[in-house]
Amino acid sequence: MQHLLVMGVCGTGKSTVAKAVSDSLGATFIEADDHHSPEAKARMTSGLPLTDAHRWGWLDRIAGAADARPGRVVIACSALKEAYRERLRVTLNPMGIIHLYGDKTLLAARMAARRDHFMPVSLLESQFADLETPTGPEVLALDVALSRSDVIARACDFSRTMLDRA
């Protein structure tokens, strides 16, 4: 398996975990937020959630960026709905998934502490409303209430196992 998705609602630490996993594997790291259009970022900054229509091009840009990289790729992307993950799989199949999850209160506190991020705490509820929990043997679910080092260690162990199947 060459592709690994680290997903979840905002505030779960997707970027931190995906970057740590990519570093440990010597893989390419892709930050999905870097592929949002300026219009989508402005929409979220103003407190409006994205619709499916807003997300299709974004997901295609993420998949294209990952597909253009040689070797293993670790992607930090919310990918909340199964349809979004399927959209990525059209290009990036097979794809392992690390689903980061946590309590709304914890995630809201994390988001409130962030600086210089376009995603306001007010959108957390819409993220939970859209979330379709992934299942299957290619999925690892990790509660972010664990210590950051525990989450990263478990994610790295899973990633090595999934990526070595390739």
- 81, 91, 165 from 95: Cα distances, Å: 15, 10, 11
Q: What is the mean pLDDT of residues 127-146?
A: 94
* Global pTM value: 0.91
Residues 6+ apart with CB under 8 A from 43: 49, 50, 54
**Whether 35 contacts 15, CB under 8 Å:** no
CATH architecture classification, 3-163: 3-Layer(aba) Sandwich (3.40)
Give tens-digit pLDDT for 44-60: 888 888 889 989 999 99
For the chain, domain boundaries: 3-163
Mean pLDDT score of the chain: 89
